Structure 1
Amino acid sequence: MDKLLKSRASALRNERNRFAALAFVWGDLLLELDDDLRIVFASGAADGMLGRAAVDLEGHTLQSVLAPQFRPLVQEMLFAARRRGRMDNIQVRFIRPDEQLSAPVSMSGYFLPDLGDHFFVALRIAVNTLPHDIARSIKRDAATGLLDEQSLSRVVTERLMAQRETGAEHKFSLMTLNAFDPLCKRMEQIERDEMLASIGAFLRAHSVAGDTAGRMNGNQFGMLHRADIPVGELESRIADCARNADPAGTGVEISTSVTDFTAEMIPPGDLARGVLYSIRRFCDRQEHGFTFSCLTGQAPNLVNDTFSAMRDFGMRIDRLKFDAVYQPIVRLPSAEIHHFEVLARFYDDDDKLIPTERLITFAEQVNMIHRLDLAMMRRTLKWIRNQLDDGIDVRVAVNVSGDSIEHPDFCRSVIALFERNRDTMGHLMIEITETARISDLDNAAVWISRFRDFGVEICLDDFGTGASNFRYISALEVDYVKLDGEAIRQSLKSSKGRVFMTSLVDLCHELDIEVVAEMIETDAMRDMVIKAGFDYAQGYLFGKPEKDITRYWRNVQDGKNP
């Protein structure tokens, strides 16, 4: 028996030595922790890393030398390691004897039940695996320590790129904590902070690299994780944490959705856009975005399916595989057609019209709106040429997003189109939408000036009553502004509102800018905007968007109103 015990002890010693040797291949400092997380053995470069000798660490708990903000995370990581045998690489910081924080330290380790239920933890000076620009731009939710939505999408993109080399399968889980706001209101500040810190630690500890989890809004949390993570167990732990912290003992109900976030050979730029769109769409749990058949229902792999939709969308716009309709804008009070606004119409694989708002939302969120705008410009110039060949002298306004004006390649491409189509320029107008997206007004003004050099008139869409709108008309040379129909309706309900609207129109006239009223659908609204001094109007009262303008054209030729 003694010989057997000695043999077993020798085998365990050899196994411990092998683990120590393997740890030092990767790390600079090895810690052995007992079941109470007390350091029973330390060896390696503790002085340079933690500011104290390795032997001085023995007898202390790991938590006592960790910086406080990392204690919940490490506690949870070690708890998870007890179940699955290993602790994924995470970054932490320690408290040095002078009370200063150590440099970031990478921590990894194993739980070995055959060695007295001890943990073996290896530490090394951290090498930030994220690109410097991403690491520098990361923002966190102060309460939980989790990434915000934008930061999470950037980090997820980097992890998915790394996944291609490792072949790991990743999933994305979204947890919605129902009745979370009432719970937080029932709690004192200190208890609420402790609960939120614990939730953040739970999610980070189970996420890829220990830091690919985020808080999207007040009660929604998401994380990228390995496929074998027991999400149900994590959900139960968070629910227990909330219930224990709740003075009423009620807690929250958690609903969790999981989707594959596996990245195939998607270009990095497209992947980054697709990830952000996928996270937002997954959080909303609605089919609010641009969809062809590949994005209907809850997709099994949201990133790849989003990218498929991006490719499909890109192919359709590059090949001009979409329809265009034209809505008249008329001069007041005569209702004579002044020009048409051209609008894109896309259809899904079942030939059902995709609502324009969904189309534009998708294009903006995946940063493809400039490609759509350029395709509309190409199509419209070709259409104008065909109309001129048929003897129809018509003017058309093409929508261009404020995002596109911020895109130099788009603007250069537009100039190149104008150079090749100079004979059609007198028939083209540009209507700038989403002007709030223009952050660099000086640069936008330069491009708009270049467009106007070709004889192209410029209109600002959705011009309202906010102070920012006046900044745009003072910075940008434009010929028209279009006032939002809802703003007009609200203003014309009261005498003060009518005076203000009339004054706004007068101000534009003082600046030599003509004013268009949109969404005019009744005779009463037409009469009110005429009285307020509007120059033009657009709406169903004067004509709906049509593929074929010949009906309107015949009416004009015959001297009739549309």
Structure 2
Amino acid sequence: MDKSLKKHASSLRNERNRFAALAFVWGDLLLELDEEFRIVFASGAADGILGLSTEQIDGIRFVDLLSSQFRPLVSEMLNVARRRGRMDNVLVRFTRPDDRVSPPVSLTGYFLPDLGSHFFVALRVTVHSLPHDLLQTIRRDGPTGLLDEESLSRVVTERLMAQRETGQNQKFSLFTLNAFEPLCERMEHVARDEMLSTIGSFFRAHSVAGDTAGRISASQFGMLHSPEVRIGDLEQRIAECARDADPQGKGIIVRTSETDFTAHAMPPGDLARGVLYSIRRFCDKQQHSFTFSRLTGHMPNLVNDTFGAMRDFGQRVDRLEFDAVYQPIVRLPSAEIHHFEVLVRFYREDGELIPTDQLIMFAEQVNMIHRLDLAMMRRTLKWIRQQLNEGIDARVAVNVSGQSLANPDFCRSVIALFERSKECLSQLMIEITETAEITDLEHAAAWLARFRQYGVEICLDDFGTGAANFSYLSALEVDYVKIDGASIRQSLKTQKGRAFLRSLVGLCHQLDIEVVAEMIETDDMRDLVTKAGFDFAQGYLFGKPEKDITSYWRKLRSRRKSKNKPS
């Protein structure tokens, strides 16, 4: 009998151990709670989740370990479980002894009256789980099953936000598969799709959470992964897969670039833009192109370089740590100064000018252009006030990106500035630039109408460089249009081009819009645009951008005095 009991007890222990092992397939920490919710048994990663060992939590009320906002929820779920027998899966967080909050933890469990009326709870860290709204936006490359570029950037951003809480180090690798497109073209459809599916599975299996890999272009793939992943082995497996699938046996060459991903403390929206910008620059064949920090000092890590660039750029902009220069726009044919365009200038520490077009492109791509535009508006209104105090009533046009115009917060901030600076607004103009396309013309038109109510005139810049120009002209109430200099030079080469230019100027005049010719550098160009009917001109022929407009102002006042002298 004793032997039979021992055998039965051993069988029960083996069965219990088997079920515990199966439970660990789902959970990272298993708990048994008594009727008062006190922990009577614990096994698993208690340190990682709770910051306490399994021995330290013995006898503690389970709900007391939770962050305060989750205690009522879990207490109620445990009470409901007494009746229903189980607890549905729910995300919770715990407060650790160092007062840090744990990553999100998925909790589920059962109430078993036959086993002492105890609760059996399983916890699983869900740091890699994705929000439902993000999951609904994910798009995939069909053949590989990998994320597309935009989806990859969003998922990487979510992983980086989780990384802040866990302190995990992660790397991003870009795989370029040389000769991959010709290989795909010479394969049969079925074999090609099978190869793409296999390669996609390689990337997914080695990525964070098994789903942070994407197809960025036809032959480029990106993957966020732990530092432990052996990239060389993965390269070899991909190359072997391609060679085995190639009907000619040639295969491909796999090249990999790797960088650390470290999430700086920046808002999720800015972080997402920075990730997407980094991925695109990472794929750029021209050696990763531009970031703000690269222009002020070389840094070896592209991704962290981008995050650092965004932080540095934002700080300099918010503190107005940049220069402004002023270029005159003159009336034709007299060449009398009508107003100045204010242009931003950033410099390296050694005094060398940072290329402005690249800087603007960077600011737009990482969604920070509205901060620069608002800073320029603040600086310009302050400058106008100073000029008025000195008896100078120079008019100034400040640039605003079409992307900024689509930002309601930016537009409301501009209105607030106008309310505080009404005495300066008669000297202010706004130039809407088209480096970023205006997608919601109705929204933009409404804000421009409000700006014009303050007496601020509006100029549409770079007209002639984009197909959307004529829709802008019909939808937006503007006072001036600036014709792009390159378009003018091209049009003036032929009789047909000159006729088109005259017609364009005539159309603007019919709409009661005056027209500015840009990049006028010679007397011949000035004569040609004057004959074409242009009202104003801008270019080196009339003056380069300068920090100090005093010399221009003296010339303007001397001309005014000479005109007013009795003959």
Equivalence map 1:262-301=2 (5 Å): 262-284=262-284, 286=287, 288-292=289-293, 296-297=297-298, 299-300=300-301
1:418 aligns with 2:429: no
* Range moving further from structure 2, 544-553 or 302-311: 302-311
1:253 aligns with 2:256: no
SS state at 1:472 partner: helix
Q: Which residue of 1 aligns with 2:318?
A: 318
| Root mean square deviation, CA, Å | 2.7
Deviation at 1:186, TM superposition (A): 2.7
Distance 2:257 2:13 in 1: 45
2:39 aligns to what?
none
> Any residues of structure 2 matched to 1:323-334 within 5 Å, and which?
323-334=323-334
Change (3 A) 1:246 1:528: farther
Indicate conservation of the 8 Å contact 2:398/2:431, yes or no: yes
Instruction: Pick closer, same or farther for the CA change 1:16–1:354 going to 2, 3 Å.
Output: farther
Task: Report the CA distance shift for 1:288/1:294 in structure 2 as closer, same or farther (over 3 A).
Answer: closer
For residue 206 of structure 2, what is the aligned residue in structure 1?
206
Shift of 1:428: 0.5
Note closer, same or farther for the CA distance 1:467–1:310 as it changes in structure 2 (3 Å cut): closer
Letter of the 1:329 partner, please give it: I
- Distance, in Å, in 1 between the alignment partners of 2:158 and 2:129 is 9
Q: Which residue of 1 aligns with 2:526?
A: 526
TM-score (norm 1): 0.76
Partner SS, residue 299 of structure 1? coil
Alpha-carbon distance, 1:435 to partner = 6.8
Residue 385 (structure 1) shift:
1.4
Decide whether the 8 Å contact of 2:259 with 2:303 is kept in 1.
no
- The answer (yes or no) to whether the contact 1:293–1:348 under 8 Å persists in 2 is no
Q: Tell me the equivalent position of 1:66.
A: none
Which residue identity lines up with residue 307 of structure 2 in the other structure? F
By how many angstroms is 1:391 displaced? 2.0
Return 5+ residue gaps in structure 1 as ranges. 1-10, 29-105, 107-123
* Kept after mapping to 1: 8 A contact 2:291/2:305: no
**Number of residue-to-residue matches in the alignment:** 454
Report 1:208-247 matches (<5 A). 208-247=208-247
Alignment correspondent of 2:21: 22
Matches within 5 A, 1:160-559: 160-284=160-284, 286=287, 288-292=289-293, 296-297=297-298, 299-300=300-301, 302-434=302-434, 437-464=437-464, 467-559=467-559
What is the deviation of 1:509?
A: 0.8
TM-score in terms of structure 2 length = 0.75
Alpha carbons of structure 1 residues 18 and 496: separation in structure 2 relative to 1, 3 Å:
farther
Contact 1:287 1:297 in 2 (8 A): no
CA separation in 2, counterparts of 1:351 and 1:535?
37
SS in 2 for 1:255: strand
- Mean Cα displacement is larger for which, 523-532 or 219-228? 523-532
Alpha carbons of 1:256 and 1:435: their partners in 2 closer, same or farther (altered >3 Å)? Answer: closer
Quote how far apart the aligned CAs of 1:461 are.
1.0
- 1:492 Cα offset (Å): 2.0
Query: Aligned partners of 1:465, 1:155: CA distance in 2, in Å?
Result: 35
How many Å apart are 1:269 and its aligned residue?
2.9
Do the aligned partners of 2:348 and 2:354 also contact (CA within 8 Å) in 1?
yes
Shift of 1:19: 6.1
Q: Name 1:46's counterpart in structure 2.
A: none
Cα 1:467–1:363, aligned 2, differ >3 Å: closer, same or farther?
closer
1:328/1:339 contact within 8 Å kept = yes
Quote the residue 1:31 is aligned against. Answer: none
CA apart distance, 1:405? 0.8
- Cα offset, 1:471, TM superposition: 1.4
239 and 287 in structure 1: CA distance in 2 versus 1, 3 angstrom threshold: closer
Distance 1:384 1:15, change over 3 A: farther
2:468 partner SS: helix
Superposition pairs of residues 5-44 of structure 1, within 5 angstroms: 18=17, 21-27=20-26
Cα deviation, residue 267, structure 1 = 3.3
1:470–1:360 Cα change, 3 Å? same
2-side partners of 1:150 and 1:526: how far apart?
46
CA 165–436 in structure 1, closer or farther in 2 if over 3 Å, else same:
closer
1:313 and 1:487 map into 2 onto residues whose CA distance is 32
Q: Which residue in the other structure is 1:35 paired with?
A: none
Q: Residues of 1 paired with 2:550 and 2:358: CA distance?
A: 29
**SS of alignment partner, residue 292 of structure 1:** helix
Describe the shift of the 1:456–1:22 C-alpha distance in structure 2 as closer, same or farther (beyond 3 A). same
After TM superposition, the runs of 4+ consecutive aligned structure 1 residues lying more than 6 A away are 13-17
Q: Which runs of 5+ in 2 are unaligned?
A: 1-9, 28-105, 107-123, 561-567
Paired residue secondary structure (2:410): helix
Deviation string, structure 1 residues 494-529 (Cα, Å, up to 9, x no partner): 222221121111111111111111122222322222
| SS of structure 1 residue aligned to 2:339 | strand
Do 2:519 and 2:539's aligned partners in 1 also have CA atoms closer than 8 Å?
yes
Distance in 1, matches of 2:282 and 2:349, equals 22
CA contact (8 A) 2:325 2:546 kept: yes
Q: Secondary structure at the match of 1:559?
A: helix
* Pairwise CA distance, 1:166: 3.1
Residue 429 of structure 1 aligns to which amino acid in structure 2? Answer: M
- Equivalent pair of 1:295/1:306 in contact (CA under 8 Å): no
Q: What amino acid is the match of 2:305?
A: D
Distance in 2 between the 1:305 and 1:549 partners? Answer: 37
Distance 2:537 2:25 in 1: 71
CA distance in 1, matches of 2:263, 2:146: 23
- State the Cα deviation string for residues 261-305 of structure 1 (Å, max 9, x = none): 1224443233222222222222226353342369744533x4443
Paired residue secondary structure (1:437): coil
CA deviation vs aligned residue, 1:327-382 (integer Å, no higher than 9, x gap): 11111122211111111101123332211112112211221111100100011111
Distance in structure 1 (CA, Å) of the matches to 2:242 and 2:298: 32
Q: Secondary structure of the residue that 2:173 maps to in structure 1?
A: strand
Q: State percent identity of aligned pairs.
A: 69
Amino acid corresponding to residue 542 of structure 1 in structure 2: F
Counterpart of 2:135? 135
Aligned to 1:157: 157
Letter in 2 for 1:22: A
Do the aligned partners of 2:128 and 2:159 also contact (CA within 8 Å) in 1? no
Distance 1:232 1:523, change over 3 A: same
Q: Which has the larger radius of gyration?
A: 2
Contact 2:273 2:365 in 1 (8 A): yes
Distance 2:460 2:399 in 1: 10
Distance 1:237 1:17 in 2: 41
1:193 Cα deviation from its structure 2 partner: 2.2
Shift of residue 208, structure 1, vs aligned partner: 0.7
Q: Distance in 1 between matches of 2:166 and 2:258?
A: 21
CA–CA separation in structure 2 for the residues paired with 1:178 and 1:138: 27
Q: CA deviation at 1:185?
A: 2.8
- For residues 442 and 523 of structure 1, the distance between their equivalents in structure 2, rounded to whole angstroms, comes to 40
Q: Distance in 1 between matches of 2:245 and 2:296?
A: 40
Aligned partner letter, 1:150: E
CA apart distance, 1:146:
1.4
Change in 2 beyond 3 A, CA 1:553/1:437: same
